[in-house]
Amino acid sequence: MCCGAIDGKHVIIKAPPESGSLFYNYKESNSIVLMAVVDHKYCFSYIDVGCNGRVSDAGVFRNCSLYQALEDGMLPEGHVLVGDNAFPLKEYLLKPFPGNQLTLKQKIFNYRLSRARRIVENAFGIMAARFRVFEKPFPYSPEKVILIVKACCALHNWLNETKLQYRQFEYTVDSENFDTGEIVRGNWRDESEPNGFESLKNSLANHSTRRSQDLRERYADYFVAEGSIPWQTNMHHPVH
């Protein structure tokens, strides 16, 4: 069972005085990191904000409070989060099969994983469209930026819950055209690119346990058997 999609964003800030390279990230900007898990309603169910951008993206995950809870068995057996290639493959965290020479089963698994984790990309995008503070780097201290980001996440959740009560949503999310196999862009993508957000860097490390690899294989087998959906063989197209 999927319990949510995990991802993170570098929140770009102006380098604080005398901070040196403490907040300097791989994109050659200064940042703090927002790590989040998003549920099926595009709400943030967990956030960790404040890790300095100099820490490797893999290190950000290892240093957040959620990581140790997951390592200690917070999720019941058979429950997982889904992430992209910025995250390690774990018994509680599924990520795509790597490489280009994939079998059909592996391609279908990657599509189904991408379909599930699209909710976190849309949640970040909708929040940035709602709150224009993410349009450019923050000129404030890291402490103040942390408070602003936390407030934006909380207000985003409140707006989602309120809109759902009245069956309204001011921004549409990405959807699929099952006839053509194309992804239909959510209208939040029509907003200007948020220059105050940057994606995490994909991890080049490919270390994982046999149990986590076996779990991914079992999900891949399930998606081409009793868990298959009619249109999945047509859907290998990313959002542009």
Q: What is the pLDDT of residue 210?
A: 93
pLDDT in tens, 125-173: 999 999 999 999 999 999 999 999 999 999 999 999 887 665 566 788 8
Tokens of 215: 């779990």
pLDDT tens digits, residue range 191-212?
Answer: 877 788 888 888 766 678 999 9
Q: Give the number of C-alpha atoms closer than 13 A to the C-alpha of residue 10, restricted to the C-beta side.
A: 26
Q: Is residue 239 very low, low, confident or very high in pLDDT (cuts 50, 70, 90)?
A: very low
123-151 per-residue burial string, b: 16 or more CB within 10 A, e: under 16: bbbbbbbbbebbeebbeeebeebbebbee
Q: What is the pLDDT of residue 205?
A: 62
Kindly report the average pLDDT of the chain as a whole number.
Answer: 89
pLDDT at 240 over 50: no
